[in-house]
């Protein structure tokens, strides 16, 4: 079943840098929330919507939780779309002060985000965190304390991330079922796409989508609404 977006509804996207779309100055900003909003306006000019984005680069579930009231609940959106989990999964390797966040801790925090939305009439879209099987050692840009820094991500780090990401993806799927939320199975989507086209076409570092990756996310998101 799809979400019917009525005229003048408010749609909010929130999460980490994939939603926030941090890029170096001058680089593309073809993020999936902007692509969704633009395509919706093209398809449905007679159904104007309000589009909000409170994504913040570097955020984990606990960071979303700290600002959930002000960023999400106070806005009373009709639809909330959440994509978070990459930083929860990689914090211990990307930040010297980071630690391992277990799937149970991740799920418990995510549950606390969703609980206040239950029985409010707000429709929820949960987007799975994902990891593409790119090749070699990648120089990636990440955010900590609001500042960008470069890190090197190699096969060993990606293997570690893959092993710990799968239980977190399963947690998102279970939460979607528990809260009757709409699931965008992004990890499955990109795994399938990477079998037919080089994974670097969809994400240069395995985490942050390219414009093509964002377009694929936007297309999948739009299939959830009418």
- Residues 13-24: pLDDT tens digits? 999 999 998 665
Q: What is the average per-residue pLDDT within 83-106?
A: 92
Rounded to whole angstroms, what are the CA distances from 146 to 16, 33, 39, 58, 185? 12, 21, 30, 8, 29
- pLDDT at residue 139, as a whole number: 73
Q: How far apart are CA 208 and CA 86, in angstroms?
A: 10
Share of the chain above pLDDT 90, in %: 80
- pTM for this entry: 0.93
Q: How far apart are CA 113 and CA 72, in angstroms?
A: 10
pLDDT tens for 163-184 read 999 999 999 999 999 999 999 9
Q: Are strands 10-15 and 50-53 parallel, antiparallel or unpaired?
A: parallel
- Flag whether pLDDT at 102 surpasses 90: yes
pLDDT tens for 29-52 read 789 999 999 999 999 999 999 999
């Amino acid at each position: 079943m799809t979400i019917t977006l009525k005229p003048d509804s408010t749609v909010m996207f929130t999460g980490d840098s994939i939603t926030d779309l941090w890029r170096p100055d001058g680089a593309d900003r073809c993020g999936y929330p902007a692509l969704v909003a633009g395509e919706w306006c093209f398809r449905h000019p007679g159904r104007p919507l309000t589009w909000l984005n409170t994504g913040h680069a570097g955020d984990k579930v606990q960071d979303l939780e700290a600002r959930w009231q002000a960023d999400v609940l106070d806005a009373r959106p009709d639809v909330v779309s959440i994509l978070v989990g990459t930083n929860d999964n990689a914090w211990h390797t990307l930040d010297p002060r980071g630690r391992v966040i277990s799937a149970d801790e991740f799920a418990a925090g995510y549950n606390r985000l969703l609980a206040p939305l239950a029985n409010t009439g707000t429709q929820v879209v949960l987007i799975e965190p994902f990891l593409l099987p790119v090749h070699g050692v990648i120089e990636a840009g990440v955010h900590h304390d609001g500042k960008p820094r470069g890190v090197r991500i190699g096969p060993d780090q990606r293997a570690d991330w893959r092993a710990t990401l799968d239980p977190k993806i399963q947690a998102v799927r279970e939460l979607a079922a528990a809260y009757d939320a709409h699931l965008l199975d992004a990890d499955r989507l990109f795994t399938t796409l990477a079998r037919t086209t080089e994974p670097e076409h969809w994400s240069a570092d395995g985490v942050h989508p390219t414009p093509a990756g964002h377009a694929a996310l936007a297309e999948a998101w739009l299939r959830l609404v009418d």
